Amino acid sequence: MALLNVSFCSKFAAKPHLSTSPPPSVSGHPIPTPLALKSKQSRESASQNFALSLGESVSSAGLAALLSASLFFVDPALAFRGGGPYGQEVTRGQDLTGKDFSGKTLIKQDFKTSILRQANFKGAKLLGASFFDADLTGADLSDADLRSADFSLANVTKANLSNANLEGALATGNTSFKGSNITGADFTDVPLRDDQREYLCKVADGVNPTTGNATRETLLCN
């Protein structure tokens, strides 16, 4: 009989108590468990990351749209704004064939890579102007002030340079003055290739009316 009691008691031994009562609370508000707190923090962190990512995407898209709009509405001519302190015309990279610039003040004007065939620069003030890689075939540069102008790589063939003052101008690279009228032109301190200097000395004549220098002397002709 005692054995039966022991077996019966073992079979119905106390099991762990599973409480069905609500979680503890303070003033009617449940106290979050560590697991609940961790889950809540993860959700908040995910929400913040999503908001930041969305904000960055919107900002990037807005910036791209703003840049596109600004590029779309900008004046294309501004990309080739020539001009200088005395000439605001767009003259760089342009076809200015036959254009009349006679007598104008165009100090430091930018004519880089422009087509200036038969253009009229008679008597113009072009101190420090740039004709880099420009085509000046047949242009009239007579009586022009071309001191320190840049003719590097320029085509100055068959141009009229009579009485022009080119003191200190640049003429490096493949600059060509073939067929040009240089009577009375002043080439003082102009760096010329030997073949160009030799060619110009064959046709040099006259005295520059502004400087009083003989063309042949400024070219260092023998």
Q: Can you count the helices (H) and strands (E) in the chain?
A: 4, 2
Kindly tell me if the per-residue pLDDT of 77 is higher than 50.
no
Structural domain for 136, as ranges: 80-222
The pLDDT tens digits for 189-198 are 999 999 999 9
Residue 41 main-chain phi, psi, to 5 deg: -65, -40
Non-local (6+) Cβ contacts of 165 within 8 A are 144, 145, 146, 147, 185, 186, 208, 210, 211
Q: 87 φ, ψ to 5°?
A: -150, 110
Ranked by mean pLDDT, which of 13-27, 66-80, 89-103 comes out on top?
A: 89-103
Report the distance separating Cα 6 and Cα 112, nearest Å. 113
Residue partners of 105: CB distance under 8 A and separation at least 6: 86, 87, 124, 125
Distance, in Å, from the CA atom of 190 to the CA atom of 170, rounded to the nearest integer, reads: 6
What percentage of the chain reaches a pLDDT higher than 90?
58
Task: Give the per-residue pLDDT at 136.
Answer: 98
Q: Is residue 75 part of a domain?
A: no
Residue 127 lies in a domain: yes
Flag whether 74 is in a domain.
no
- How many Å apart are CA 84 and CA 109, to the nearest integer? 5
Identify each DSSP E strand in the chain by its residue range: 25-26, 29-30
How much is the pLDDT for 4? 37
Segment 117-166, tens digit of pLDDT: 999 999 999 999 999 999 999 999 999 999 999 999 999 999 999 999 99
Q: Is residue 73 part of a domain?
A: no
Inside any domain, residue 31: no
Tokens of 215: 């063309």
**Tens digit of each residue's pLDDT (9 = 90 or more) over 31-42:** 555 444 445 555
Number of compact structural domains in the chain:
1
Please give the Cα distance from 172 to 24 (Å, whole number): 93
pLDDT value of position 86: 53
Instruction: Find out whether 124 and 108 touch, Cβ atoms under 8 Å.
Output: no
**pTM, rounded to two decimals:** 0.63
Q: Could you report the per-residue pLDDT of 155-174, keeping only the tens digit for each?
A: 999 999 999 999 999 998 88
Q: What is the mean pLDDT of the chain?
A: 76
CA–CA separation, 121 and 129 (whole Å): 12
Other Cβ atoms less than 10 A from the Cβ of 220: the count is 12
CATH number, domain at 189?
Answer: 2.160.20.80
Count of CB atoms within 10 A of residue 9's CB? 9
